Chains A and B, each alone.
Chain A
Amino acid sequence: GIQVEQSPPDLILQEGANSTLRCNFSDSVNNLQWFHQNPWGQLINLFYIPSGTKQNGRLSATTVATERYSLLYISSSQTTDSGVYFCAVSQWEGAQKLVFGQGTRLTINP
């Protein structure tokens, strides 16, 4: 099956810093999503981005499908950005067979 690798596994930054999280996948995908799991365990959908670039406030994401990677950018980090960021992919257009990466744990210190 498709493999998803995220890097770095851990990232510790000071408030105000910028960060880039990477997601590599082993085969072509029709569905790629980024999620944030906050320290209380809640999973929040950030982006659906099988290709191209999207922005939402301080967060943006870019997927280069032909090169099989996606990047999540967080600018001007805040302590509330702490948590684990997951990339998930599927080779189907819908949400079936969604495969998650291991996540990047981001800690933002005040």
Chain B
Amino acid sequence: ETGVTQTPRHLVMGMTNKKSLKCEQHLGHNAMYWYKQSAKKPLELMFVYSLEERVENNSVPSRFSPECPNSSHLFLHLHTLQPEDSALYLCASSVGSYNSPLHFGNGTRLTVT
């Protein structure tokens, strides 16, 4: 399997649930990203990991918790979310972090009820 794979594709969760989003890249890249995409808004960078070390946290609420166990896998742990957190969550990877294009997965469509 090639590219960037995200699971699940769709997720519905209540405000008190705990769930995790998973991302796996098969491109040999060393940087991984979480982005949030909401309707009518630009993509928002959430977290960046480079060589498994978190290098950027873009003022994201603590109810979102990332984890990068190795350079191929990235998780986003979710707990006590709000309805306004409903969005498409996109994972991406790149070779290095400067001037390198991002390669995106197809995202997880999250609905918080």
Do A and B associate with each other? no
Name B residues whose Cβ lies closer than 8 Å to a Cβ of A. none
State the A residues within 8 Å of B (CB). none
